[in-house]
Amino acid sequence: MLKLVSLSSGSCGNAAFVENGRTKLLVDAGTTLNYLGTALNDLGTRLEEIDAGLLTHEHGDHIKSAAALSRRFGIPVYGNEATLDALPATFQSADVRVFETGRTFEVGDLAIEAVPHSHDCSEPVGFIVCHEDRKIVIATDLGVVTPEVRAALTGADAIMLEANHDFKMLARSRYPAVLKKRISGEHGHLSNVAAGEILAMTASGKEQKVLLAHLSDENNDRHVALETIGEILSRKAVDSLKVRVAGRLAVSPAIIV
Ligand SMILES: [Zn+2]
Ligand SMILES: [Zn+2]
């Protein structure tokens, strides 16, 4: 059994909880510690029970309370070397540990692999977490789908995938042109259409539980994301996916596989 819950998703702060009943992980810690503690209490667990924090990249909406989490509770925080090098000085007294992107490592009885992403920071990654024959993939903050992400999504039982923006909403938004270009660029964020297309392309007919994540507050809407992706899936005759949306500062439904 593997369980995946988004505790918060989007520019307001990102954190996801993954466990198999014994080993408990946080992927990113981009909200306050108080928020994370309360969200975990809702799930019947506590911050001090977390075995490790994994960092996808050094942007503030992913690392906000990671150093404090480590210092206060002695929780190790894992990142690749480039990400660890880019962290602020607050991490100097934290228990930081390095992993190599593309190479499997273990925390407790979970096997983890960091998957390279395309995003505007040092060495962004997503994660594959495996236990026995179950596989969860977490892929947010990616401008385009890399071949490694595509391979990771294939055969996954549960997927947390970025669906950041709707093209029309982004084009109409009050964001400055340079920011719009960054968001929709190769090193920015994944659109609803790109998310739908990669889900359709990698679907195999086996049931996959999907949590759409990192939705923009300004340039997206949960109904628009679900509708856009639903249309792409039905056009490609894919009906094996159960798609839900992770909210901002809200605990998502638990995805259990
Ligand atoms: Zn980012
Ligand atoms: Zn982000």
**Domain containing residue 208:** 3-252
- Distance (angstroms) between ligand 1 centre and the Cα of 75 equals 23
pLDDT at 10: 97
d(CA 112, CA 246): 22
Residue 130 lies in a domain: yes
Residue 143 lies in a domain: yes
pLDDT at 217: 97
- Distance (angstroms) between ligand 1 centre and the Cα of 58 equals 7
Assessment of whether the complete model's pTM goes beyond 0.95: yes
Tens of pLDDT, residues 121-170: 999 999 999 999 999 999 999 999 999 999 999 999 999 999 999 999 99
Residue 45 lies in a domain: yes
- Give the chain's domain count: 1
Coil, strand or helix at 37: helix
Which residue type does 223 have? H
d(CA 146, CA 152): 10
Residue 76 lies in a domain: yes
**Ligand of minimum distance to the alpha carbon of 162:** 2
**pLDDT band at residue 117 using 50, 70 and 90 as cut-offs:** very high
- Distance (angstroms) between ligand 2 centre and the Cα of 59 equals 6
Residue 176 lies in a domain: yes
**Ligand of minimum distance to the alpha carbon of 62:** 2
pLDDT at 235: 98
Tens of pLDDT, residues 188-233: 999 999 999 999 999 999 999 999 999 999 999 999 999 999 999 9
pLDDT at 51: 98
For the CA atoms of 5, 158, 55, 75, the dihedral, rounded to the nearest 10 degrees, stands at: 50
Residue 235 lies in a domain: yes
- Residues 112-118 have a mean pLDDT of 98
Give the CATH number of the domain where residue 18 resides.
3.60.15.10
**Ligand of minimum distance to the alpha carbon of 122:** 1
Q: Are 6 and 136 in contact (CB under 8 A)?
A: no
Residue 257 lies in a domain: no
Residue 49 lies in a domain: yes
